[in-house]
Amino acid sequence: MKQKTTRTGSRGPSGRGDGLSVRLKTARGRKASSQRWLERQLNDPYVQAAKSKGYRSRAAFKLIELDDRFHLLKQGARVLDLGAAPGGWVQVAQERIGANGKIVGLDILPMAPIAGAELLEGDMLAPETPERLKQALGGGADVVLSDMAAPTTGHRATDHLRTVALLEAALDLAEDVLRPGGSFVGKVFQGGATGALLARFKQVFATVKHVKPPASRAESVELYLVAQGFRANSRACPGKQTA
């Protein structure tokens, strides 16, 4: 049976009335959860804008909004994107750092090529990874990005702890590859980085902020930790284990 829809005006990422709201009238053979997901996708102005601009994911707009606020991606910068698949953040970083910059994306999953970017398949926890990344970047990174989150279980506290563990692993790697004064962006869930991990961030970076960009869905519990002013000599810090 052909799907029926109705359309009404809605606002897009620009804030203008440039989107269309779609309501599905029939859902024969479709689960209620699938119906809600499909309606959300059809009604999400960031999904439509990502398609029109050629971005691989709506998450590209989260990085655009973070960079507009914090000015992370400067011309000629070296940028590392951890958990880069499918590549939306790589695309944004590449646009903003220009032809003289260098963008390297790392993911445990293979990614389709992006012209001008170096995409690596590998495990960020592997001992050889930091040196491999520095070689790919041609030196230390000015910015390390991570939009990684652990697969959700539906239990909010568990999901938060698992994503914080990923954030800590990303910080471990960032400390190995960042240049002095560099920046880090990582995903956390509601509650953000706390305790020893937050103390560690504050020891290692000059400024640390939790931010929810407008492109993050209102119902989502995700936040982003933005840390700037990397102190390369602050290796021995609270929460950091040394051999």
Active site residues: 187
Cα–Cα distance, 144 to 110 (Å, whole number): 20
Starting at the edge strand found earlier in the chain, the sheet holding 178-189 runs: 118-121, 102-107, 78-82, 141-146, 178-189, 222-230, 205-211
Cα–Cα distance, 146 to 132 (Å, whole number): 17
Lookup result for tokens 């990502």: 50
CB atoms within 10 A of CB 140: 17
Specify which residues 121 forms β-bridges with: 107
Q: 103-133 in b/e burial notation, b at 16+ Cβ within 10 A?
A: bbbbbeeebeebeebbbbeeebeeeebbeeb
Lookup result for tokens 């958990």: 83
